[in-house]
Structure 1
Amino acid sequence: MRVGEHRRGPASPHQRACVKLPTVHETDLHLDPNEASDLSRVLSPAALQANGWDRAMLTVLDEACAEDALALLVHTAGCPLDEGWEARRVHAEPNTGKGKTEDAEACAVRDGYAYILGSQFGKKAGPLSARRSWIARIREDDLVTKDARLEIARLRFGLHRAVNDALRDIDLLPLGPLARERYIDATIAIGEEEGKRWAGRVLPTDQPINLEAAEFRADGSLVVGLRYPVTAEGHPLLVEITNPDGLFEDEAPRPGRVWWLEDVGEPHAPAGFRALDTRGEDRFDAIIGDLDAANKSATVLEDHPQGGKAASEHVRFQLSDAAGAVTTERVHHFGAIRRVEGVAIDHEGDSHYVIDEEGHVALRTLVIE
């Protein structure tokens, strides 16, 4: 099956006759619940070999609490890429707040640990939810043990506060009246009326943030990719958090630089981040797409109907130390396929995507001939 396109630059007539289009292999993952997000390569070479695998990727299930949201996608060594895949649920014992987290949306790996983040957002009709404001980590090789421990840090809108502070001087797509009422005003009211510990961290001038992507820079700082908000011109935003490990010591998240993809998204079809992967040295692959799913009564789209128009694409870029605009290279366009939720590039350079489809979750592998 062939889907979309791959940009290689100009080719001669002879080259166009010989070069094959990308081949996409699809595997049904048989995961329940059927809402998977993001992908990260995991496990040491020793752990892979011990289990007879040559590839392993972590994905997260956003309809479960953090300790039940982890799943491994593993590939039997020696099998072709269109065979030999298996999905394995991982149960981890949380250090705190059992059952009090939800909506896992992003995962990333650094120094032998897998990190998982909640969306920091709320339901489509609001308000923002403190149960979605968290970060967790687990040792990579513990993903294949029976006594895995998941360390959870409940952020109570600390990351919301840090991202909004970082975006203070960025020209953003204006917050619509419904989002202001349902996400910002309603959340502030709950905090004050119920005397929540997080009261005061959401301010009237804030934007709700919907975090769907995360990765680590070469220097160890964390970059989070936002599905919403986006710039006033419709470009997706990356925000740096400089103290990711400090979050597990009850430090407040410290915001750093802000970047945006200047050639992705436009005012009539704004685009946000759906997933991130890194190949090191501040080189990143990303999935970008619409601001929310159409036909699901999403508040963001009620305010900004154009936010449902952007197609899903796989792009590549490199970050520099200078904040600001970043240019991209397009790798793949998914055509009519919109719910592309994760990307991971394996050791042979093949691209793997996790895709939510009606009634099931699919893994698709893009092989560039």
Structure 2
Amino acid sequence: MWRLTSAAVALTLLVPFATAEAKELGTGMLTDAQIKQHENIEMKTLETIQYTVTLAKDAQAGDTITIALPADVMLYSNQTSDVKNTEGKVAGNVAFNKEKNEAIVTLNDIAAASKYSQLIVDIPVTFQDTTAGKHTLELPLKNGMKNVDYTVVASAAPATVEGDGTVSGSTISWTVTIDASGATLTNAQLENAFGDSYDLDGPVVVSYKNADGTTSEKKFNSRLLADRTLKLNLGTIKEQVVTISYDTTVTDIEKKYTNNFTIHSLNSDDIVAKAVVNGKGAKVIAPEPEKEIQKQPITQSTGQEPLSAKAPIEQQSNTSSYNGVKTTGDVITNNPKNHDSGNTLTELPQTGISNPAWIGAGLLGAAYMIFRRKK
């Protein structure tokens, strides 16, 4: 008898455990859908449709949920990615079939054990209709279709920078054009690296062309910094074309003259451009000889007391003044606060400090009195 019992037990151990077959759960698990990034869809850009899945109590590992996408969108790739639940745990994966335009979600043990967690499924797509305007996308859900409204807008064109120059005798005229007609450059700054064979001559002219066709122009007296760069703060440029032009004077004859331009901004990588000008026809104007200043004797008839030869002459401070603001640095800003000032340039003052005329007159007077005493 015991042999029969043992045989029955052994037979039972050989029978495999019964397992539930994987099944397709269908759209009954899809409770919500939305366009993840934003409602404004740029032409020919990648977007993400995000589905929310609420599992039934009988959901098991291996079960699948097939999401058939409408013809208005196309899957971006055939790759497989993880699917996480609302607790941040990987609860399955989603495989994309571009040929059928379907996304198939497969559950794992974590999904089966977390009946009360929802799953988040991200599906990367591109939109078929890129006509600018308003559109409606129908996405399948548990209780039918959900209409998701969206607007297609023109893709933002990246800002570009071009430099150009022309030689006319001893003058090289340079132009920098920033085309941000389809973009925004926040707190833009021009950094202009000069060559060694020409110097800035005259004001810098900045012209703005707005999206509505209106234009404006500003002139600024500027100078080069110690490293021979010209820096101008242009503020935020939004849907505008900005042209910066100025003249330089040739100081040395070269076969070609090079000017390098860089546009910095807070929301974009640096944009770099270069202008190369043929030096044929360039001229260097010889400096005019200094005119001899005739010395006028200073006598008591001037009504002024002559300066003593031993009287100390006050040394001039290295601190300059520009527009009422004293500075020892290379750059003066009219507004010291660090904030977006709109399309307002930070003006760079002229370098050099002019000596007052009375110092020269005093020196001449002192020399004359010493000469008279020696006689």
TM, length-normalised to structure 1: 0.18
Structure (1 or 2) with the greater helix fraction: 1
Structure (1 or 2) with the greater strand fraction: 2
Higher relative contact order (CA 8 A, sep 6+): 1
Largest Rg, 1 or 2: 2
